[in-house]
Structure 1
């Protein structure tokens, strides 16, 4: 869960460098520092970004298109369409530019996790 300290929160428009996570596209108002401090609510067990700035840089992108605010993942047809129906409620990007590095993709595969790029401009 993201830090509940109001001083730690950043709202869109006040922060220039918001990031989207490339695996699950979570994080519309999340900064690099917040991903490093908190990890990702959906992917921490796979990507282990918490406390690992290098991994945060490898697994996030500041280039994304569209926004989805999801409150009830299990009831949302948009969540199913975007393949985020099993994720936590939150704000997600429709498309995140870039791909996870090959080494990270191999590690995910070795754990039985199938990576599908969130970049709609890239065919997987």
Structure 2
């Protein structure tokens, strides 16, 4: 049984958000009317607060299936949108731009925002050192230049994708040197002020 999306939003849908319930970590039985079902939302517009509440209430794992043919308006060099896969335990966030991907995606495709200054595809440990598995919050940004949250988090110049609101970890000195050589200001993503000299 499926909760179908609103037909008025079903035209020109480039993908769907498929949410499957994960076993709850509690002994209290769930009263959710969606137990044992899949919930589908269209991705042609951002999720509204009611849809997000449903996802949080169900304590779900999210599987994103999206058509990657759309070229990013923020960075024309990339024809793919950085969308996390269903391998949640392997997700990491870039310490420089906070985009969330798997380590495999970072090493195969590089970071969509930091490449080529920080080239994670070289086969070195740079991807492991400059990304962190410890991060807080996730936001999905479709139109960075129009999103107030993207501007608030200083993500408005990055490609559309899923970003962490806070990334825990220290950027290696080598990576700092690469950024300084390109005159790129490093904005710590751990919530601290940028008081680095």
TM-score by length of 1: 0.84
Residue aligning to 1:81: 152
The question of 1:23 aligning with 2:96 is answered: yes
Larger radius of gyration: 2
Residue aligning to 1:119: 190
Change (3 A) 1:112 1:87: same
Gaps of 5+ in 1: none
> When you count helix as a share of all residues, which structure comes out higher?
1
Change (3 A) 1:31 1:91: same
> When you count strand as a share of all residues, which structure comes out higher?
2
> Residues 37 and 51 of structure 1 are in contact (CA less than 8 Å); yes or no, is this contact kept in structure 2?
no
**Poorly superposed stretches of 4+, deviation over 6 Å:** none
The question of 1:43 aligning with 2:114 is answered: yes
Gaps of 5+ in 2: 1-77
Superposition deviation, residue 110 in structure 1: 1.5
Superposition deviation, residue 10 in structure 1: 2.5
Provide the rounded CA distance (Å) in 1 between the counterparts of 2:123 and 2:111: 12
Tell which has more relative contact order, 1 or 2 (C-alpha 8 A, sep 6+). Answer: 1
> Residues 118 and 178 of structure 2 are in contact (CA less than 8 Å); yes or no, is this contact kept in structure 1?
no
TM-score by length of 2: 0.54
The residue correspondences of 1:79-118 to structure 2 (distance < 5 A) are 79-118=150-189
> Residues 70 and 89 of structure 1 are in contact (CA less than 8 Å); yes or no, is this contact kept in structure 2?
yes
Provide the rounded CA distance (Å) in 2 between the counterparts of 1:10 and 1:66: 16
Provide the rounded CA distance (Å) in 2 between the counterparts of 1:83 and 1:54: 27
Superposition deviation, residue 104 in structure 1: 1.3
> Over aligned residue pairs, what C-alpha RMSD do you find?
1.9
Q: How many residues align?
A: 115
